[in-house]
Amino acid sequence: MNTEQAKEILQLYRPGRADAADPEVAAALACVEQDAELRRWYEQHCAAQQAIRDGFRQIKPPAALKEQIISERPRLSLPVRRRVVLLAALAVVALLAAVPLWLTRQATPPEDTSFAAYRSRMVGHALRGYAMDLETNELASIRDYLKTQQAPADFALPAGLEHATRTGCALVSWHGQRVAMVCFSSGRTLPLNQTSDVWFFVALRRELPDAPGSTPEIAAVNRATVASWTQGDKVYVLAVDGSADLLKQYL
Protein backbone atom coordinates (compact mmCIF):
# COMPACT_ATOMS: atom_id res chain seq x y z
CA MET A 1 0.00 0.00 0.00
CA ASN A 2 1.48 3.35 -1.00
CA THR A 3 1.03 6.73 0.72
CA GLU A 4 -1.75 7.91 -1.58
CA GLN A 5 -3.75 4.70 -1.14
CA ALA A 6 -3.35 4.95 2.65
CA LYS A 7 -4.57 8.57 2.58
CA GLU A 8 -7.59 7.59 0.53
CA ILE A 9 -8.54 4.90 3.06
CA LEU A 10 -7.86 7.05 6.11
CA GLN A 11 -9.91 9.92 4.67
CA LEU A 12 -13.01 8.06 5.92
CA TYR A 13 -11.47 6.68 9.10
CA ARG A 14 -12.78 7.96 12.42
CA PRO A 15 -10.52 7.23 15.38
CA GLY A 16 -12.32 5.64 18.31
CA ARG A 17 -14.86 3.80 16.16
CA ALA A 18 -14.98 0.22 15.03
CA ASP A 19 -13.65 1.37 11.64
CA ALA A 20 -10.17 0.32 12.76
CA ALA A 21 -11.23 -3.34 12.66
CA ASP A 22 -11.45 -3.09 8.88
CA PRO A 23 -8.34 -4.86 7.48
CA GLU A 24 -7.73 -2.09 4.94
CA VAL A 25 -7.88 0.57 7.64
CA ALA A 26 -5.57 -1.48 9.86
CA ALA A 27 -3.08 -1.75 7.00
CA ALA A 28 -3.30 2.00 6.34
CA LEU A 29 -2.75 2.74 10.03
CA ALA A 30 0.30 0.47 9.98
CA CYS A 31 1.67 2.60 7.11
CA VAL A 32 1.20 5.69 9.29
CA GLU A 33 3.59 4.20 11.83
CA GLN A 34 6.26 3.71 9.21
CA ASP A 35 5.92 6.80 7.02
CA ALA A 36 6.78 10.18 8.57
CA GLU A 37 5.15 12.23 5.81
CA LEU A 38 1.99 10.14 6.04
CA ARG A 39 2.01 10.49 9.81
CA ARG A 40 2.16 14.29 9.53
CA TRP A 41 -0.76 14.25 7.08
CA TYR A 42 -2.74 11.89 9.33
CA GLU A 43 -2.29 14.06 12.41
CA GLN A 44 -3.45 17.14 10.50
CA HIS A 45 -6.36 15.18 9.07
CA CYS A 46 -7.49 13.99 12.50
CA ALA A 47 -7.24 17.54 13.89
CA ALA A 48 -9.30 18.89 11.00
CA GLN A 49 -11.91 16.15 11.39
CA GLN A 50 -12.20 16.86 15.10
CA ALA A 51 -12.56 20.61 14.50
CA ILE A 52 -15.36 20.04 11.97
CA ARG A 53 -17.08 17.52 14.26
CA ASP A 54 -16.92 20.00 17.15
CA GLY A 55 -18.37 22.66 14.86
CA PHE A 56 -21.36 20.45 14.00
CA ARG A 57 -21.94 19.65 17.64
CA GLN A 58 -22.30 23.30 18.57
CA ILE A 59 -25.82 23.11 17.12
CA LYS A 60 -28.14 23.22 20.11
CA PRO A 61 -31.93 22.96 20.04
CA PRO A 62 -34.07 25.74 21.58
CA ALA A 63 -34.41 25.27 25.31
CA ALA A 64 -38.13 24.49 25.29
CA LEU A 65 -38.26 22.21 22.26
CA LYS A 66 -38.31 18.98 24.23
CA GLU A 67 -41.06 20.27 26.52
CA GLN A 68 -43.07 21.41 23.51
CA ILE A 69 -42.77 18.08 21.70
CA ILE A 70 -43.96 16.23 24.78
CA SER A 71 -46.74 18.64 25.72
CA GLU A 72 -48.17 18.83 22.19
CA ARG A 73 -48.00 15.10 21.60
CA PRO A 74 -51.07 13.91 19.72
CA ARG A 75 -53.18 11.59 21.85
CA LEU A 76 -53.74 8.73 19.48
CA SER A 77 -53.94 5.72 21.71
CA LEU A 78 -57.11 3.68 21.30
CA PRO A 79 -58.54 1.07 23.62
CA VAL A 80 -56.99 -2.30 22.82
CA ARG A 81 -60.29 -3.79 21.63
CA ARG A 82 -60.91 -0.92 19.22
CA ARG A 83 -57.34 -1.16 18.03
CA VAL A 84 -57.78 -4.86 17.27
CA VAL A 85 -60.98 -4.16 15.33
CA LEU A 86 -59.27 -1.37 13.47
CA LEU A 87 -56.28 -3.56 12.65
CA ALA A 88 -58.59 -6.33 11.41
CA ALA A 89 -60.41 -3.86 9.18
CA LEU A 90 -57.12 -2.53 7.89
CA ALA A 91 -55.95 -6.08 7.17
CA VAL A 92 -59.05 -6.71 5.04
CA VAL A 93 -58.50 -3.48 3.16
CA ALA A 94 -54.87 -4.42 2.65
CA LEU A 95 -55.84 -7.81 1.24
CA LEU A 96 -58.22 -6.18 -1.18
CA ALA A 97 -55.70 -3.64 -2.28
CA ALA A 98 -53.69 -4.14 -5.42
CA VAL A 99 -50.26 -5.71 -5.14
CA PRO A 100 -48.45 -2.48 -6.10
CA LEU A 101 -50.18 -0.75 -3.24
CA TRP A 102 -49.20 -3.56 -0.94
CA LEU A 103 -45.62 -3.01 -1.96
CA THR A 104 -45.79 0.73 -1.61
CA ARG A 105 -43.37 2.12 0.90
CA GLN A 106 -44.50 3.49 4.18
CA ALA A 107 -46.54 6.56 3.43
CA THR A 108 -46.35 9.81 5.26
CA PRO A 109 -49.48 10.50 7.35
CA PRO A 110 -51.49 13.50 6.23
CA GLU A 111 -50.22 16.76 7.61
CA ASP A 112 -52.35 18.29 10.31
CA THR A 113 -53.45 21.57 8.75
CA SER A 114 -56.25 22.30 11.21
CA PHE A 115 -56.58 25.65 12.89
CA ALA A 116 -55.97 24.04 16.30
CA ALA A 117 -52.63 22.70 15.06
CA TYR A 118 -51.75 26.09 13.59
CA ARG A 119 -52.57 27.91 16.84
CA SER A 120 -50.62 25.40 18.88
CA ARG A 121 -47.60 25.70 16.58
CA MET A 122 -47.63 29.50 16.67
CA VAL A 123 -47.91 29.62 20.45
CA GLY A 124 -45.20 27.01 20.82
CA HIS A 125 -42.94 29.03 18.54
CA ALA A 126 -43.48 32.16 20.63
CA LEU A 127 -42.98 30.46 23.99
CA ARG A 128 -39.94 28.42 23.19
CA GLY A 129 -37.88 31.44 22.14
CA TYR A 130 -37.13 32.72 18.65
CA ALA A 131 -34.95 35.20 16.83
CA MET A 132 -36.73 38.37 15.72
CA ASP A 133 -36.09 39.25 12.08
CA LEU A 134 -36.61 42.96 12.74
CA GLU A 135 -36.38 44.74 16.06
CA THR A 136 -38.26 48.02 15.99
CA ASN A 137 -41.21 49.80 17.55
CA GLU A 138 -42.17 51.38 14.22
CA LEU A 139 -45.30 49.76 12.86
CA ALA A 140 -44.61 51.14 9.38
CA SER A 141 -41.19 49.48 9.33
CA ILE A 142 -42.74 46.22 10.44
CA ARG A 143 -45.33 46.38 7.66
CA ASP A 144 -42.65 47.25 5.08
CA TYR A 145 -40.48 44.35 6.18
CA LEU A 146 -43.35 41.85 6.13
CA LYS A 147 -44.41 43.07 2.70
CA THR A 148 -40.92 42.55 1.28
CA GLN A 149 -40.98 39.01 2.71
CA GLN A 150 -44.35 38.20 1.06
CA ALA A 151 -45.98 37.83 4.48
CA PRO A 152 -49.35 39.39 5.39
CA ALA A 153 -48.59 43.07 6.03
CA ASP A 154 -51.93 44.88 5.68
CA PHE A 155 -53.34 43.51 8.91
CA ALA A 156 -55.80 45.30 11.21
CA LEU A 157 -54.56 45.64 14.78
CA PRO A 158 -57.20 45.28 17.50
CA ALA A 159 -57.82 48.55 19.35
CA GLY A 160 -56.00 47.37 22.47
CA LEU A 161 -52.82 46.70 20.53
CA GLU A 162 -52.70 50.06 18.74
CA HIS A 163 -50.77 51.71 21.55
CA ALA A 164 -48.99 48.68 22.97
CA THR A 165 -45.19 48.68 22.94
CA ARG A 166 -44.01 46.98 19.79
CA THR A 167 -40.70 45.14 19.89
CA GLY A 168 -40.40 43.82 16.34
CA CYS A 169 -41.49 41.04 14.06
CA ALA A 170 -40.54 37.65 12.68
CA LEU A 171 -41.73 35.21 10.06
CA VAL A 172 -43.05 31.78 10.90
CA SER A 173 -43.51 29.01 8.37
CA TRP A 174 -46.82 27.15 8.26
CA HIS A 175 -46.97 24.39 5.64
CA GLY A 176 -44.96 26.49 3.26
CA GLN A 177 -46.83 29.75 3.83
CA ARG A 178 -45.38 32.74 5.64
CA VAL A 179 -47.15 33.86 8.77
CA ALA A 180 -46.46 37.34 10.16
CA MET A 181 -45.58 37.43 13.85
CA VAL A 182 -45.64 40.90 15.41
CA CYS A 183 -44.17 41.08 18.89
CA PHE A 184 -45.12 43.37 21.78
CA SER A 185 -44.14 43.89 25.38
CA SER A 186 -46.67 44.29 28.14
CA GLY A 187 -44.13 46.14 30.25
CA ARG A 188 -43.90 43.41 32.84
CA THR A 189 -40.47 42.29 33.98
CA LEU A 190 -39.43 39.46 31.68
CA PRO A 191 -36.68 36.85 31.89
CA LEU A 192 -33.31 38.05 30.63
CA ASN A 193 -33.56 36.37 27.22
CA GLN A 194 -37.19 37.35 26.57
CA THR A 195 -38.12 40.69 25.04
CA SER A 196 -41.80 40.09 24.28
CA ASP A 197 -44.78 38.55 26.01
CA VAL A 198 -47.56 39.47 23.62
CA TRP A 199 -47.64 38.15 20.07
CA PHE A 200 -49.92 38.84 17.15
CA PHE A 201 -49.97 36.28 14.35
CA VAL A 202 -51.47 37.01 10.94
CA ALA A 203 -52.18 34.32 8.36
CA LEU A 204 -54.27 34.17 5.22
CA ARG A 205 -57.78 32.81 5.74
CA ARG A 206 -57.55 30.51 2.73
CA GLU A 207 -54.84 28.51 4.54
CA LEU A 208 -57.03 27.95 7.60
CA PRO A 209 -60.57 27.14 6.50
CA ASP A 210 -61.66 25.97 9.96
CA ALA A 211 -60.54 29.13 11.78
CA PRO A 212 -63.01 30.78 14.21
CA GLY A 213 -65.41 33.45 12.97
CA SER A 214 -65.33 37.18 13.55
CA THR A 215 -65.90 36.93 17.32
CA PRO A 216 -62.64 36.31 19.19
CA GLU A 217 -62.46 32.78 20.57
CA ILE A 218 -60.46 32.61 23.79
CA ALA A 219 -58.48 29.49 24.70
CA ALA A 220 -55.60 28.40 26.90
CA VAL A 221 -52.75 26.93 24.86
CA ASN A 222 -49.71 25.69 26.68
CA ARG A 223 -49.04 28.41 29.29
CA ALA A 224 -50.40 31.15 27.05
CA THR A 225 -53.89 32.60 26.70
CA VAL A 226 -54.98 33.10 23.12
CA ALA A 227 -57.72 34.91 21.22
CA SER A 228 -58.42 33.90 17.62
CA TRP A 229 -60.72 35.41 15.02
CA THR A 230 -61.17 36.00 11.32
CA GLN A 231 -61.51 39.38 9.71
CA GLY A 232 -61.66 39.86 5.97
CA ASP A 233 -59.18 37.56 4.27
CA LYS A 234 -57.04 37.12 7.38
CA VAL A 235 -56.97 34.97 10.47
CA TYR A 236 -55.62 36.61 13.60
CA VAL A 237 -54.19 34.94 16.68
CA LEU A 238 -53.31 37.10 19.66
CA ALA A 239 -51.35 35.31 22.37
CA VAL A 240 -50.13 36.54 25.73
CA ASP A 241 -47.79 34.83 28.12
CA GLY A 242 -50.27 35.23 30.96
CA SER A 243 -53.90 35.28 31.99
CA ALA A 244 -57.16 36.03 30.17
CA ASP A 245 -57.28 39.38 32.01
CA LEU A 246 -54.00 40.41 30.43
CA LEU A 247 -55.20 39.22 27.03
CA LYS A 248 -58.40 41.24 27.21
CA GLN A 249 -56.40 44.46 27.64
CA TYR A 250 -55.22 44.03 24.06
CA LEU A 251 -58.48 43.13 22.30
Give residues with Cβ within 8 angstroms of 221, minimum separation 6.
119, 120, 123, 239
We find the least distance from the C-beta atom of residue 86 to another protein, in angstroms, to be 12
Q: Which helix (H) or strand (E) holds 191?
A: none
Q: Which stretch binds another protein (CB under 8 A): 92-100, 159-167, 174-182, 221-229?
A: 174-182
Distance CA 78, CA 86 (A): 10
Question: Is residue 35 near another protein by the rule CB under 8 A?
Answer: no
Q: Which stretch binds another protein (CB under 8 A): 10-18, 195-203, 221-229, 240-248?
A: 10-18
| 37, 55 Cβ separation under 8 angstroms | no
Which listed residue (35, 128, 185, 218) binds another protein by CB under 8 A?
128
| 171, 179 Cβ separation under 8 angstroms | yes
Which listed residue (23, 73, 192, 245) binds another protein by CB under 8 A?
73
Question: Is residue 37 near another protein by the rule CB under 8 A?
Answer: no
Alpha helices in 104-217 (DSSP H): 115-127, 139-148, 159-162
Question: In the range 88-127, which residues lie near another protein by CB under 8 A?
Answer: 106, 108-109, 121, 125
Distance CA 22, CA 47 (A): 22
Question: Is residue 24 near another protein by the rule CB under 8 A?
Answer: no
Which listed residue (60, 98, 103, 140) binds another protein by CB under 8 A?
60
**What is the DSSP code (8-state) at residue 137?**
S
Distance CA 229, CA 88 (A): 42
DSSP result, 92-135:
HHHHHS-HHHHHSPPPPPPP---HHHHHHHHHHHHHT----SB-
We find the least distance from the C-beta atom of residue 88 to another protein, in angstroms, to be 15
* Residue 130: strand pairing partners: none
Question: Is residue 71 near another protein by the rule CB under 8 A?
Answer: no
Question: In the range 189-248, which residues lie near another protein by CB under 8 A?
Answer: none
Which listed residue (28, 32, 68, 229) binds another protein by CB under 8 A?
68
Which listed residue (23, 55, 79, 191) binds another protein by CB under 8 A?
55
Q: Which stretch binds another protein (CB under 8 A): 26-34, 46-54, 190-198, 230-238?
A: 46-54
Phi, psi dihedral angles at 44 (to 5 degrees): -65, -40
Residues in the chain: 251
Q: Around Cβ 47, how many Cβ atoms within 10 Å?
A: 10
* Interaction site with another protein (CB under 8 A): 7, 11-12, 14, 17-18, 41, 44-45, 47-48, 51-62, 65-66, 68-70, 72-74, 76, 106, 108-109, 121, 125, 128, 130-131, 133, 150, 172-173, 175-176, 178
